[in-house]
Amino acid sequence: MLVLHAPAADLGALAAMSAAPAVLVGLIAGPRLDRHRRRPVMIGADLGRAALLLIIPIAALAHRLVMAELYLVAALVGAASVLFDMADHAYLPSLVDRNHLVAANARLSATESTAEIGGPALAGVLVSLLTAPIAIAVNAVTYLASAAILATIGHPEAAPPRAATPPSWRADLLGGFRALFAEPLIRPLFLTSVTSALFGAFFFALYTFFAVTTLRLTPAMLGVTIAVGGVGALVGASLAAWLGRRLGIGRALILAGLLEAAFTLLIPLAGGGPARAMAMLMAGQLFGDALGTAFLIHAVSLRQAVLPGEVLGRVAGAFAAGAGLATVVGALIGGALGGAIGARDTLFISSAGLALAPLWCLASPIWRLKTAPA
């Protein structure tokens, strides 16, 4: 955006392009993920993301960087990211006992949060001192590091059983959606995920645009602000298990989702000069990300605990496809609304929509759930 001065509608299209692969990857790769070892898939996705991101600084140095190229790289990196996340979701239960899934997911989230604390701040400094394409090259190196770390895992991954007559892709696809909708504890999580993705995509498309063009934050200020979200996510990862024990996982999950939506209101309410606006954004990031992380940890752990391991990849694909389609639609709507009524009003609408998402869980058996069923 800073290099090409893209308007809100173009940013919505770019956000939609980066989310669109979730639909295809979820529908195509998800049904087959349960037929393969998951760790090699994760390593391949990391290597692919690193190679793709390096295209941007190379094109920029050659003075050939155009918006169409960003669209293509965003789409392919988005596809690899979705594939990695699906494989990661299905891989974790093979490493830990199901009674420890919340703790394991909390530790993974804490690791990601630590990266978010330093990453955006460093990226903002790099953009200020160097250029945005060079900062992207640094990001590519992080994916190489991730692939190297995954390769060091010593726990052997069992090969999935092979049927004498493998089911068709269509049968696997339908099996994933059937398993999802047949389980009363998983169906509302899916509907919540789709609703959150639809309205959350408004922020996905407009957050940086709003912070830079409306609030006049510099790249370095924006990087520090986003890094505070990493601190919040780290806090949420630390508190998730405690909230589950204190309130029961169902009520902890729903309450975290509702409060997360409430704190996102601080973002469109921000104003009054860059310093004051930055403080409000930081508060929204801190508390919103903390509660959002706690929600996600319990939601993912519940899916992993309730569903049998042999369908986790297919169900993860169904979740990715549903949320991906909602994100595409939401990013396009958000970008269009941002250009028509302004980014601030669009983000107010997004916050109101996000508050609706946890109501799917509130109207389900999840509200009464104290602990994850065996």
Largest CA distance in the chain: 67
pLDDT at position 130 is 44
**271 backbone dihedrals φ, ψ, rounded to 5°:** 175, -170
Is the domain defined by 8-150+172-368 classed in CATH 1.20.1250.20? yes
Give, in order, the Cα–Cα distances in Å from 322 to each of 26, 83, 196, 361: 8, 14, 11, 17
pTM of the model: 0.80
Q: Any idea where the domains of the chain sit in the sequence?
A: 8-150+172-368
Q: Are 29 and 42 in contact (CB under 8 A)?
A: no
What value does the mean pLDDT take over residues 337-357?
A: 92
How does pLDDT run across 17-68, given as a tens digit for each residue?
667 777 888 888 887 787 788 889 999 999 998 888 888 778 777 777 677 7
Residue 4 has pLDDT above 50, yes or no: no
How does pLDDT run across 222-266, given as a tens digit for each residue?
878 887 887 888 899 889 989 999 999 999 999 999 999 999 999
CA 91 to chain centroid, in Å, comes to 17
